[in-house]
């Protein structure tokens, strides 16, 4: 993936098992938890490129969130703030080689940021 590519999409759900069955049957997604990512079932589309995760629905997590690959979360967050956006989740390590953060654009849309090596499902 390259800077600006969509890396994955998180979908908030109320029932992980039911949602896994639903999305697997409707779209043919393979859904499984990877070691180290327990409680975060990851989905992969039949094209083996598109994917994401199912997350627990909360008051703060009610809409799907797309993640965009960036060369540097720190530089991207600085640019977002400079251009009128805000940070909703600071840079957080996923593992030793990858990080994520979340920002909101000036129009109120939340976007996830991803830097590093993609996790494998």
- Select from 49, 1, 8, 52 the least CA-distant residue to 31: 52
Query: pLDDT value at position 1?
Result: 63
Highest mean pLDDT range out of 6-15, 16-25, 82-91, 102-111?
82-91
The yes or no reply on domain 6-116 and CATH 3.10.180.10 is: yes
* pLDDT tens digits for range 79-106: 999 999 999 999 999 989 999 999 999 9
* pLDDT tens digits for range 33-77: 988 888 889 988 888 877 889 998 988 888 899 999 999 999 999
pTM exceeds 0.95: no
If one compares 26 and 2, the residue with the highest pLDDT of the two is 26
Task: State phi, psi for 2 to the nearest 5 degrees.
Answer: -125, 165
If one compares 20 and 50, the residue with the highest pLDDT of the two is 20
Annotate 17-69 with DSSP letters as a single string.
HHHHHHHHHHH--EEEPPTT-TT--EEE-TTSS-EEEEEE--SS--S-EEEEE
Burial group, residue 67, by CB count within 10 angstroms (0-12, 13-18, 19+): buried
| Residue spans per domain, the chain | 6-116
Chain position carrying tokens 């703060």: 60
CB–CB of 7/67 below 8 Å? yes
């Amino acid at each position: 993936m390259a800077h600006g590519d969509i890396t994955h999409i998180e979908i908030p759900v109320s029932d992980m098992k039911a949602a896994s069955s639903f999305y697997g049957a409707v779209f043919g997604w393979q859904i499984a938890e990877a070691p180290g990512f327990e409680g975060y079932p990851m989905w992969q589309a039949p094209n083996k490129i598109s994917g994401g995760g199912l997350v627990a629905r909360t008051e703060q997590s009610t809409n799907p969130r797309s993640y965009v690959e960036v060369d540097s979360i720190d530089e991207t967050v600085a640019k977002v703030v400079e251009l009128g956006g805000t940070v909703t989740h600071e840079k957080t390590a996923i593992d030793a080689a990858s990080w994520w953060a979340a920002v909101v654009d000036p129009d109120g849309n939340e976007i996830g940021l991803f830097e590093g090596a993609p996790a494998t499902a």
